[in-house]
Structure 1
Amino acid sequence: MVQNIKSVLIGMTEEGVDEPSSALAYGLSLAQQSGAHATIQAASLKVVMGNTFVSNIATGLVAAHNRRLKQLAQDVAERARGDAAAAGVAASVETPQLAYGQLVELFVAQARVHDISVLDAEVATVNADRGLIEALLFESGRPVIVVPPGVDTFKHERVLIAWDASVRATRAVNDAMGILKSASAVEVLAIGSEKELAHEVPGAELAPHLARHGVHVDVKNLVVGRDGVAETLREQAGLIGADLIVMGAFNHSRIREWVLGGVTESLLEDCKVPLFMSY
């Protein structure tokens, strides 16, 4: 049982696309196992007409579109209430319909008063869900679990830590400590070139720290494959049967803070294992 998580924010955004949500089932599973309260945001994007000279026909079409999205979000909310009740999870369900900027502000504010947020993975880089992932990572000060399609149960028997000794990776490990302590096996994985790994063993100093917290930990160092760090991570996660990857979200741009680094971006686009990320 994960005892340090008492409030879980589950975010879903209705955009009129028929995409099943894994975040709801996964987030409820996490709340059930940790005895936490779940706040479910079944949000819908509101299209706002900015031109005062738009025709009445266009205005009517936009209003109808917004009503449809609102109804779809309310349908999701009703199912969510039933799922939470069936799982025995105390939950509050909200169905805000806001313009994108306001929706982001709402989610960030909510995330700050919850222990963790759970969102669906989103392949497209230009998408409301992807924007929410980035906003919560960079602005909430809380960790985020990104759930890939088809994963509906929170599991943490085997956890893989992507370790590079950075501030963000350090924060992720600390944020995930309750999960790590209750896992059966934790592997600290450092990936680098042969030259880098010949001079240092990045995970060696982290292992004793985790062991003092009662974490069952092993350390592994891998030379990065020709397909890059992200693919090496994916392969190792598959080899050990990882239920969760703990990592720091990497931002490689000082100018555009919304642009995620290559490894994080690649994993968000393609990873069968949920990602526990901090920034």
Structure 2
Amino acid sequence: MSLRSIFLFAPAETGSAQAGPSALAIDLARNHGATLTAFVVPLDVTTPGRDTDAAAVAQGIAEAARTAGVDCQTVTSHSHAMTVHEAICQQARLHDLIVTGTDDSSMLSERNIAEHLLFESGRPVLLVPQSHGAGAGGSQAAVAWDSTAAAARALGDAVALLDLDAADFLTISGEKDLPADLAESLLVTTSARRGLTARHSVAELGSRSIAAALQDEAHARGAALLVMGGFGHSNLRRWVLGSATSDLFAGLTMPVLLSR
């Protein structure tokens, strides 16, 4: 499997083709020869002129994609027979990868949409800080590894979609009980058989949150992308996130690929 189709959610309030999720999505589409669909709608529907803002953001993304040689389609409206969450998920499910941010400055926020996409789209979600420039760190990433099914799914998505050829497996001790079979030799040798150069390291949690520790350790190893499993469950359509995932949404400092 390869990356053929990218879905970008870019709210009218924060979307920009010059940085953040939009810039990285365009960069990924160019590097992988993928198509890009940008869903650009206002989240603040009470302020006049937001539709005009959405059209301007969509035009900026389309022009930047065209300059990069990327086949880009923009969507700036949806059927009011469904909620904006439902409309976004309906389209996102048709693509290989979802790219979005985690801004949380309004009640119906980008973070709220991102959480919904993680649980309801069935697709891997790439979270990108708004301050991030284009580029996702090439073919090397840090992988949060605890031998869970979610971590395995995230690794598989990253290898298949992003053409990874090297990975730093990161295990954070002191946050939860870890399986006894976290054998470094098994990780390295099995990864090599699938064409992935790997190394494994363990870091202490200390006083950091698990999300901060993972991102700190990923940065320290020169990775520009963190890959991890997304944890949590839906309960009467209210999102209850695991601690690592919740902290990550609140304190994103680098692009993070989440799968569940």
Paired with 1:196 and 1:261, the residues of 2 have a C-alpha distance of: 15
SS in 2 for 1:43: coil
2:137 aligns to what? 156
Residue 245 of structure 1 and its aligned partner are, at CA, apart by 0.3
Residue 26 of structure 1 and its aligned partner are, at CA, apart by 0.8
More helix by share: 1
Q: Give the conservation status (yes or no) of the 8 Å contact 1:163–1:202.
A: no
1:202–1:246 Cα change, 3 Å: farther
Residue 117 of structure 1 and its aligned partner are, at CA, apart by 0.6
Instruction: Calculate percent identity across the aligned residue pairs.
Output: 30
Residue 197 of structure 1 and its aligned partner are, at CA, apart by 6.5
1:8–1:179 Cα change, 3 Å: closer
Unaligned runs of 5+ in 2: none
Residue 27 of structure 1 and its aligned partner are, at CA, apart by 0.4
Q: How does 1:1-279 map to 2 (within 5 A)?
A: 4-14=2-12, 17=13, 20=16, 22-45=20-43, 47=45, 65-66=47-48, 68-96=49-77, 102-124=83-105, 126-157=107-138, 158-178=140-160, 181-183=163-165, 185-193=166-174, 199-201=180-182, 204-251=185-232, 258-279=239-260
How many equivalent residue pairs?
257
1:151–1:18 Cα change, 3 Å: closer
- Letter matched to residue 29 of structure 1: D
Residue 106 of structure 1 and its aligned partner are, at CA, apart by 1.3
SS in 1 for 2:6: strand
1:50 aligns to what? none
- Letter matched to residue 169 of structure 1: A
List 4+ stretches of structure 1 deviating above 4 A: 17-21, 97-101, 123-126, 194-200, 252-257
Q: Give the conservation status (yes or no) of the 8 Å contact 1:244–1:276.
A: yes
Q: Give the conservation status (yes or no) of the 8 Å contact 2:3–2:162.
A: no
Residue 165 of structure 1 and its aligned partner are, at CA, apart by 1.5
RMSD: 2.8
SS in 2 for 1:236: helix
Paired with 1:195 and 1:111, the residues of 2 have a C-alpha distance of: 33
Highest CA radius of gyration, 1 or 2? Answer: 1
Q: Give the conservation status (yes or no) of the 8 Å contact 2:24–2:136.
A: no
Q: Give the conservation status (yes or no) of the 8 Å contact 2:147–2:179.
A: no
Residue 238 of structure 1 and its aligned partner are, at CA, apart by 1.9
SS in 1 for 2:239: coil
Residue 79 of structure 1 and its aligned partner are, at CA, apart by 1.1
